[in-house]
Structure 1
Amino acid sequence: MQPITLGRMRIHKVHEMDSPTPMSMNLPGVTALDLERLRRWYDPGDDEITLDPDTAQMTFSVHSFIIEVDGQTILIDTCDGNHKDRLVPPVHQLNTDYLGNLRRAGFERGDIDLVMCTHLHFDHIGWNTMLDNGRWVPTFPNAKYHFGRRDYAYFQSEPAGEEVHHASFLDSIVPVMEAGQGIIVDEDHVAHREIGNGVWLEPAFGHSPGCCTIHGRAEGPEAIFWGDVIHHPVQMIRPDLPFAFDADPVMASQTRQRVMRKAAEEDLLCFPAHFRKTSAGKVLRDGDAYRYEWVAE
């Protein structure tokens, strides 16, 4: 994705990795008809989308977004992180060039003023910290980090079945708090200026207990960073299906549909956390469902 300018905001994408997983594992219930409908408007340029749900893949792009606005540099979602022990084998002990990609986007670690996380799952908080002489330290030394209150309390409690996210809480959240750089905020927090002219959170509960969308507007079109409300384009056709990692599948489905309706009706420019290609785009009505139109390179 090339940088996108919206009024006073300039938005960049920083890629970490692509992560292919079986569609039938993540979204059981998808049919051949759903996949045929998806292929009418989604062509990722490889064989990810077949017409057989048992062979189709969901390949997730894992990336961050950076907003430059009014002299502030805001980093949204910090991906998986390097050198971290994870119960999920594909992201265990990674060694990616994320920081190199950050530099190639025009930023050093010390340039980041604020880190915001749409939610506190391991693949959205990993680069909050980095290994330094055997210790986890904040990756962005000059930044404040905003953590949503509901997710913070939930993952701090070491909930059953959430071992991978609790482990990431310990190595990617706790060291930030101990360094005095973390701030616990409500899920409707205004991070910069004011709603409609700044950067703010809106509740989008379901995928995690405190999942949020992040919104930005600064004398231009409004942008929405929806995190994991929608992981993959196929969910725009089947928002009713439970995603494998939704904490509350019913609420997550309701949130997906509400966010897509809002994005389409209000013509928001969308920045999904895991869509491939240019990632950014618009949600459009498509009969009884929705489709996605990517911003051209």
Structure 2
Amino acid sequence: MKPIQLGRMTVHKIHEMDSPTPMLAQLPGATAADLARLKTWYTPSDDELTDDPETSCMTFGLHSFVIEVDGKRILVDSCCGNHKNRSLPEVHQLDTRYLENLRTAGFAPEDIDMVMCTHLHFDHVGWNTKLENGKWVPTFPNARYLFGKKDYDYFVTNPEGEEIHQEAFLDSIVPIMDAGKGELVDEDFIAHREIGDGVWLEPAFGHSPGCCTINAEAGGPPAIFWGDVIHHPLQMIRYDLPFAFDADPPQASATRQRVMKRAAEGDLLCFPAHFRLNSAGRVKVDGDAYRYEWVAE
């Protein structure tokens, strides 16, 4: 994704990796009819989708966004991270070029003023820390890290609940708090200026207990960074489908529909956490469902 200018705000995408997984493992209940409808407007750059859900993949794009606004540099969702022990083989002991990609976009880790996580799952917090002399230290040493209270409290009080997320909590959240860099905030926290002219959180519970969207507007078109409210374009046709990692599937489905409705009605420029291609785009009403229009490169 090329940098996108929205009034006083510029948004940059920082790629970490793409991760394919069998579709039915993540979105059980997807049908051939769903795929046929999706293919009328979704054109991946490879053979991700077949005509049969049994042989189709959903490929996660893993990336961060950096918001430049009013002299501040805010990093949204810090992906998986390198050198981390994970119970999921696909993300165990990664060695990606994430920091090199950050520098290519024009940012050193020291340039980041704030890190915001839409929720505290492993693939949204991993680069909060890096391994240095055998110890996990803040990757962005000058940043203020904002963590939602609900997710934080959940992982403190349910240490055995979800192994891979707990692994990330211990190596990517706890060291930030121990270093005095973390701040626990409510899920409607205003991070910069004010609602309608700044950066602010909005509750989007369901995928995780404290999942949020991040909203941003700065004298131009409004933007939404929706984290894991929607993982794959198929969920825009079948927002009722439970996703494998949803903590509360019915609530996640209701949140998904609400966010899509607001994005379509408000003509929001959307920055999904896991959509591929150039990621950014707009939600459009499509009969009894929705579709996605990517911003042209």
Which interval holds the TM-score relative to the shorter structure? over 0.9
Q: Superposition pairs for residues 207-246 of structure 1, below 5 Å? A: 207-246=207-246
The separation in 1 between residues aligned to 2:43 and 2:25, in whole angstroms, is: 21
The separation in 1 between residues aligned to 2:77 and 2:155, in whole angstroms, is: 17
SS in 2 for 1:173: helix
Equivalent position of 1:53 in the other structure: 53
The CA deviation at 1:157 is 1.9
The separation in 1 between residues aligned to 2:102 and 2:159, in whole angstroms, is: 33
SS in 1 for 2:16: strand
Equivalent position of 1:205 in the other structure: 205
The separation in 2 between residues aligned to 1:196 and 1:41, in whole angstroms, is: 31
SS in 2 for 1:272: coil
Tell me, yes or no, if the aligned pair for 2:204 and 2:212 is still in contact at 8 Å: yes
The separation in 2 between residues aligned to 1:96 and 1:227, in whole angstroms, is: 21
The CA deviation at 1:120 is 0.1
Equivalent position of 1:268 in the other structure: 268
The separation in 2 between residues aligned to 1:216 and 1:45, in whole angstroms, is: 30
The separation in 1 between residues aligned to 2:160 and 2:287, in whole angstroms, is: 40
Q: Superposition pairs for residues 101-116 of structure 1, below 5 Å? A: 101-116=101-116
1:41-83 deviation line (CA, Å, top 9, x unaligned): 0011211011100000000100000000000000000000000
The separation in 2 between residues aligned to 1:202 and 1:255, in whole angstroms, is: 11
Equivalent position of 1:24 in the other structure: 24
Equivalent position of 2:141 in the other structure: 141
Number of equivalences:
297
The CA deviation at 1:137 is 0.1
SS in 2 for 1:227: coil
SS in 1 for 2:44: coil
Mark the runs of 5 or more structure 2 residues left unpaired by the alignment.
Answer: none
The separation in 1 between residues aligned to 2:214 and 2:252, in whole angstroms, is: 16
1:63 paired to 2:63:
yes
Tell me, yes or no, if the aligned pair for 2:75 and 2:116 is still in contact at 8 Å: yes
Equivalent position of 1:91 in the other structure: 91
Tell me, yes or no, if the aligned pair for 2:129 and 2:139 is still in contact at 8 Å: yes
Amino acid at match of 2:295: V
1:123 paired to 2:150:
no
Tell me, yes or no, if the aligned pair for 2:264 and 2:282 is still in contact at 8 Å: yes
Amino acid at match of 2:70: D
The separation in 1 between residues aligned to 2:238 and 2:26, in whole angstroms, is: 13
The CA deviation at 1:244 is 0.6
The CA deviation at 1:163 is 1.2
Amino acid at match of 1:295: V
1:216-237 deviation line (CA, Å, top 9, x unaligned): 0000110000000000000000
The CA deviation at 1:159 is 4.3
The CA deviation at 1:161 is 3.5
Q: TM-score, normalised by structure 2?
A: 0.99
SS in 1 for 2:50: coil
Tell me, yes or no, if the aligned pair for 2:160 and 2:166 is still in contact at 8 Å: no
Mark the runs of 5 or more structure 1 residues left unpaired by the alignment.
Answer: none
Q: TM-score, normalised by structure 1?
A: 0.99
1:44 paired to 2:44:
yes
1:3 paired to 2:14:
no
Tell me, yes or no, if the aligned pair for 2:148 and 2:185 is still in contact at 8 Å: yes
Tell me, yes or no, if the aligned pair for 2:144 and 2:183 is still in contact at 8 Å: yes
The CA deviation at 1:158 is 3.1
Amino acid at match of 1:286: D
Equivalent position of 2:158 in the other structure: 158
Equivalent position of 1:252 in the other structure: 252
The separation in 2 between residues aligned to 1:220 and 1:146, in whole angstroms, is: 25
Q: Percent identity?
A: 72
Amino acid at match of 1:68: E
The CA deviation at 1:167 is 1.1
The separation in 1 between residues aligned to 2:176 and 2:123, in whole angstroms, is: 16
The separation in 2 between residues aligned to 1:64 and 1:214, in whole angstroms, is: 13
The separation in 1 between residues aligned to 2:93 and 2:119, in whole angstroms, is: 22
